[in-house]
Chain A
Amino acid sequence: MPHVNYGRLMPTVYVDIGALPELVGITEKDGEIAIGALTVHRTLQRDAIVCRALPLLAYSAAQVGGGWQVHNRGTVGGNLVAMHPLYDIAPVLLALQADVEIQAPDGVRRAALGKILAETSHGLGTSSLLTRILLKPMTSDAGWAYEKLKITAGSYGSANAAAVVSLSGNKLSTLRVVIGAVSEQPLDASEALHGLLGKPWDAAAGARVESLCSALPKTLLDDQQGDATWRRAMAGVVARRAVQAAVANAQRTSK
């Protein structure tokens, strides 16, 4: 809408999807959670299923900028399809290994969100609808964190990181990290951090996460949120902080 208000987009047709019942609701069935594309951020923050089984998503939805006004109206589907590099939800859903369901004229397609984002950064076109987001509940031993580096409570992030970890003793047995707001697309750092699995989480591991994640972006955003050099440095910093907080969260959960 800001683009429409400022004349950068001039739609001749508007399609209101707000009344499609298929896009509404959050359900859990056969070990899978389905979140309708019209679910607003405020619902993600408060829904009993999301709060219990996907606390990382509930928490990150509260970190979205724009205040309650945006939380009450902004949908998870619109947030994903806009494919805005500074938005918060895509990095989190990537860390949670979400699939998305897309309705096109030739049928329904289910694909990993990461695959869809690898295909395009310009939305789904005019003939497809994102209908649902499909996720497995987080495991009970998972520790999680979402770090958003931002100037004010209501603002976009300058670097964001979602982390999901699990520990075996003091060693990392799972480590998923996705970094947002530093490149055009969220960066899944999990593979780059593979070498840390089976190792204890300590200051040296933290430094390793920071340097590997700083090295990850091939191209960097350079905008009002910060210049490219700073964004590279912050990619590492938010990733380290997110893993640190996720480890602390896992340790608390296991007590």
Chain B
Amino acid sequence: MATNMEEMLEDTVLLQCRVNNKPCELAIAPGTTLLELLREEMRLTGTHMGCMTGHCGACTVLIDGEVAKSCITLAATVQRKTITTLEGLKDADGKLTPIQQAFWDEAGLQCAFCAPGMVLTATELLKSNAEPTDDEIRTAMAGNLCRCTGYQSIVRAVRAAARVMKQLK
């Protein structure tokens, strides 16, 4: 007869991945979303829980450098992948990235609920396109909803970040 422990293990998946550059190995229930794993198991609460339908973008993380909505991603599907959350962006000395700084300087956030998704999406955008047009910025950010700023200051922040990053190169 199976012990409780055996039954429990039968119902779990062994997940191995990197989160914010740290290797992780965890036994998780197959239905665990990446959002639950990050917020509840790892206490990485910079990943926000919003609509839970994949529309709002507050739960955005980077999976192997590409944005994804963690509320509709099963954690078991990120086997051996690299996950970056907002907490993983800053330097070891705690300095903000140029994108985070630009969001601060240009008032690209007000209540900041959407900010993690906005900042991470801008991170993917500026990695592949150093000088995006306003249209390209809007297209890239379309998966993130903001209910405060009216988006103008967000576009301005991404533009400002692009300028700073170009100077740093």
Contacts and interface: CB of A to CB of B under 8 A. Distances in A.
25 contacts: A1-B33, A1-B72, A5-B33, A14-B30, A14-B74, A14-B76, A16-B76, A19-B79, A66-B69, A67-B140, A67-B141, A67-B142, A68-B67, A69-B54, A69-B60, A69-B67, A69-B69, A69-B143, A70-B54, A70-B143, A72-B68, A73-B69, A153-B142, A154-B142, A154-B145
Interface in A181-199: none
Interface string A1-39: 110111000010010101100000000000000000000
Given A14-B74, A68-B121, A69-B67, A1 B54 contact: yes
Contacts of B140: 67-68
A4, A65, A72: residue with the most chain B Cβ atoms closer than 10 Å? A72
Nearest to B11: A12
Nearest to A72: B66
B107 to A, nearest CB: 22
Interface of A: 1-2, 4-6, 11, 14, 16, 18-19, 42, 65-70, 72-73, 152-154
A45 to B, nearest CB: 11
B143 A5 contact: no
Contact of B54 (A2, A11, A18, A153): A2
B143 A67 contact: yes
Contacts of B69: 66, 69-70, 73
A129 to B, nearest CB: 16
Given A5-B53, A69-B60, 7 more contacts: A2-B72, A5-B52, A16-B76, A68-B67, A73-B63, A73-B68, A73-B69
Contacts of B16: none
Contacts of A6: 52-53
Contacts of A70: 54, 69, 143
A153 B67 contact: no
B77 to A, nearest CB: 5
Contacts of A16: 74, 76-77
Contacts of A14: 30-31, 74, 76
Contact of B144 (A1, A67, A72): A67
A69 B141 CA distance: 9
Nearest 7 A/B pairs, CB to CB: A67-B143, A1-B72, A2-B53, A5-B52, A154-B142, A153-B142, A72-B66
Interface string B115-136: 0010001001000000000000
A72 B69 CA distance: 10
Nearest to A71: B143
A67 B121 contact: yes
Nearest to B52: A5
Nearest to B144: A67
Nearest to A15: B30
Given A4-B31, A72-B67, A66 B76 contact: no
A1 B71 contact: yes
B46 interface: no
